[in-house]
Structure 1
Amino acid sequence: MTTYRKLGRSGLHLFPIGLGSMQFGWSADEATSQQIMDRYYAAGGNFIDTADIYTTWTAGNPGGVSEEIIGRWMKARGNRDDIVIATKVRGAMGERGAEGRKSIHQREGLSRRWIIKACEDSLRRLQTDHIDLYQAHAIDNQTPIEETLSAFTELVQRGYVRYIGCSNYSAWRLMQALWTSDRKGLESFVSIQPEYSLLTPTRANFERELQRVCVEYGIGVIPWSPLGGGMLTGKYKRGQPLPESVRADENAARRFSDRNFDVVETLETVAQRHDAKPAQVALAWLLSTPAMTAPIIGANSVAQLDDLLGTVNLTLSEDDITEINKASDWERARTELEF
């Protein structure tokens, strides 16, 4: 039986694998997206993560498409109370370039004006009266943290939002926010969504400082790109050309290094011992790390999702974890570079 994990110090309990929705309306059409959510829900999944800007980088998409697809799915299934919905605010909404940079600036950021407007819009698209976890998508250097947290607090007081979190914050930015909440009596972040995987330097970027803050202050961790943009699935091979894929482009190649391919090959070795997939091993390793709640995965098909859901039945041994840690040890990598 699957054990649901408490998100930090909040009252939310999440399935150990979160379902990301950046691909909804992009690399997965609406029918496929609904099939993916059906399969996730049937497996016991209850945590769906989205953002208002998904996916403004595609032609003709002003944002909000992923939220709309999720909203229609929940309404059709009548399962809103079973789902923990997480969405985000910060990025620029609207088709870029059509109205000029000035108008874009009026529809982004973490000001009180934009947060409240963006939240109301997300509620409408999601066809719900509340958001379970509302997250600052990234830092906004133009807005004081007090204003941002005050706006989030107002949303909680209105009943629009249950809990607040952040994404892509550095350790000192997270500490600044926690300190401000404590000093001003404002709602406090219960979670963070960082990029975190076994790859170098991604692992080091999280573990160097941020992980310790999360452990010390009870912040739940729900990382994005836990499979390193697909590299940790094993689909990219050392010395071989990129496979044909919507997302297999120059962004994948930036992760290619001998050290990262060593990690992938170690995952393949461990996976063989468990009759599992490398991606499952990578996710199971994450679930063994301090403060981890639920890695957020994406899937373009039900078959792809099924492979990743197998993670919940995989338990790594201490020897497995030691072997994986050795291959991805960023402290040792730094020492080697110094010499």
Structure 2
Amino acid sequence: MDYRPLGKSGLKAPVLSFGAGTFGGSGPLFSNWGQSDAVEARRLVDICLEAGVNLFDTADVYSDGASEEVLGEAIKGRRDTVLISTKTSLPMGDGPNDAGSSRFRLIRAVEDALRRLQTNYIDLLQLHAFDAGTPVEEVLSTLDTLVRTGKVRYVGVSNFSGWQIMKSLAVADRYGWPRYVANQVYYSLVGRDYEWDLMQLGEDQGLGAMVWSPLGWGRLTGKIRRGAPLPEGSRLHETASFGPPVDDEHLYRVVDALDAVAKETGKTIPQIALNWLLQRPTVSSVIVGARNEEQLRQNLGAVGWSLTSDQVAKLDEASTVTAPYPHFPYRRQEGFARLNPPLAG
């Protein structure tokens, strides 16, 4: 397993990390992700650690805290060998203070997460969404307190827009508060919007991307084919509706390219889709999930080799779409491209 700095920080993260959203699954979304109990979760953690995957990502909102609870049981007795990333800010109840990133909510959310995870510190705390109702100064001063007291080691964000991140970083710099070092983002061969703005921001400001849903909400598993119905038992209808839509023809074009590369490499379609992400600029870690041991071992096969430049170019061509203004001129016109060269992989 290779390790990379998490953004502009001294923390090294494995290039693949494990998403614990499959732990303790309940409700219409998370039950379709997976329903691993503590025994099964511990086995999956064992396999991860054997492969060098020591970063586990969760969130308080995953199955109303059950994911954190199961993860806490699964890592019991080996806390010092793992890194825990969790997220908060999304609603955990109907009360007026059960959502957001206020000082009240953040402190309570961290205390609750520490209890569920059975630990006294969180390696990476990420805000799950921007809270427009709480002053940025209040959010960051609270994160500063949590870091200074040792309850949180590093901070990051997820699902923020570029201006929301930059405003936060400017306030952090002004007062000397902790800067965000990670940005947990949706990024895949059928969802490359991250490249239009957030990738350049990450490079410039030192935020490492932690990629979620790298297989496009299950679209890049190899089970979807042009002209063929969804396989019996597929959960795509239940899960894909929670993510950005993908045009059918665009999906088939990407899958055709993945098929071609699969024949050249002898790798599976998911492994190729994951390996492509690992060669993208600013990516620190790609979060993989698994409902069972077989899925996990297949995902772990995405590392230890690299696509060739020709194979990357083939996948790039099949998956590229026209970016919206003001980004599209940078791709199409020489003058704009000269002033804004693409980031190196």
TM-based fold match above 0.5: yes
Q: Aligned partners of 1:174 and 1:322: how far apart in 2?
A: 31
CA contact (8 A) 1:28 1:301 kept: no
Per the alignment, residue 314 of structure 1 pairs with 305
- Which residue, out of 50, 54, 60, partners 2:58? 50
Q: Aligned partners of 1:183 and 1:332: how far apart in 2?
A: 33
CA contact (8 A) 2:147 2:154 kept: yes
Q: Aligned partners of 1:263 and 1:250: how far apart in 2?
A: 22
Per the alignment, residue 71 of structure 1 pairs with 72
Per the alignment, residue 97 of structure 1 pairs with none
Give runs of aligned pairs for residues 268-287 of structure 1, distance below 5 A: 268-287=259-278
Q: Aligned partners of 1:317 and 1:34: how far apart in 2?
A: 36
SS in 1 for 2:84: strand
Per the alignment, residue 15 of structure 2 pairs with 16
CA contact (8 A) 2:196 2:323 kept: no
Q: Aligned partners of 1:169 and 1:304: how far apart in 2?
A: 30
Per the alignment, residue 214 of structure 1 pairs with 202
Counterpart residue identity of residue 88, structure 1: K
SS in 1 for 2:181: strand
What is the CA deviation profile of residues 273-312 of structure 1, one whole-angstrom value per residue up to 9, with x for unaligned ones? 1110111111111111111111111110110011110011
Q: Aligned partners of 2:67 and 2:266: how far apart in 1?
A: 34
The CA deviation at 1:332 is: 8.0
Q: TM-score, normalised by structure 1?
A: 0.89
Uncovered stretches (5+) of structure 2, i.e. residues with no partner:
26-33, 329-345
Counterpart residue identity of residue 259, structure 2: E
User: Aligned pair 1:233/2:213, yes or no?
Assistant: no
Per the alignment, residue 339 of structure 2 pairs with none
SS in 2 for 1:194: strand
SS in 1 for 2:130: coil
Per the alignment, residue 60 of structure 1 pairs with none
What is the CA deviation profile of residues 239-263 of structure 1, one whole-angstrom value per residue up to 9, with x for unaligned ones? 3222344732155374351012111
CA contact (8 A) 1:18 1:48 kept: yes
Per the alignment, residue 158 of structure 2 pairs with 167
Q: Aligned partners of 2:203 and 2:55: how far apart in 1?
A: 22
SS in 1 for 2:141: helix
SS in 2 for 1:132: strand
The CA deviation at 1:65 is: 0.5
Give runs of aligned pairs for residues 25-40 of structure 1, distance below 5 A: 25-26=24-25, 27-30=34-37, 31-40=39-48
Counterpart residue identity of residue 228, structure 1: G
CA contact (8 A) 2:123 2:154 kept: yes
Per the alignment, residue 332 of structure 2 pairs with none
Please tell me the root mean square deviation across aligned C-alpha atoms, in Å.
1.7
Task: Flag the 1:69–1:332 CA change in 2: closer, same or farther, 3 A.
Answer: closer
Q: Aligned partners of 1:226 and 1:117: how far apart in 2?
A: 31
What is the CA deviation profile of residues 49-91 of structure 1, one whole-angstrom value per residue up to 9, with x for unaligned ones? 0001111xxxxxxx1111111111111xx22111110001111
CA contact (8 A) 1:86 1:134 kept: yes
Per the alignment, residue 288 of structure 2 pairs with 297
Per the alignment, residue 86 of structure 1 pairs with 85
User: Aligned pair 1:193/2:201, yes or no?
Assistant: no
SS in 1 for 2:131: coil
Identity of aligned residues (%): 41
Per the alignment, residue 122 of structure 1 pairs with 113
Counterpart residue identity of residue 46, structure 1: N
Counterpart residue identity of residue 54, structure 1: Y
What is the CA deviation profile of residues 99-125 of structure 1, one whole-angstrom value per residue up to 9, with x for unaligned ones? xx4x2x321110010000000110111
CA contact (8 A) 1:242 1:249 kept: no
What is the CA deviation profile of residues 205-254 of structure 1, one whole-angstrom value per residue up to 9, with x for unaligned ones? 21111100001111110011111011112112223222344732155374
Q: Aligned partners of 1:333 and 1:257: how far apart in 2?
A: 20
CA contact (8 A) 1:123 1:131 kept: yes
Uncovered stretches (5+) of structure 1, i.e. residues with no partner:
56-62, 95-100
Q: Aligned partners of 1:124 and 1:139: how far apart in 2?
A: 24
- Which residue, out of 223, 230, 248, partners 2:211? 223
Counterpart residue identity of residue 282, structure 1: A
CA contact (8 A) 1:280 1:314 kept: no
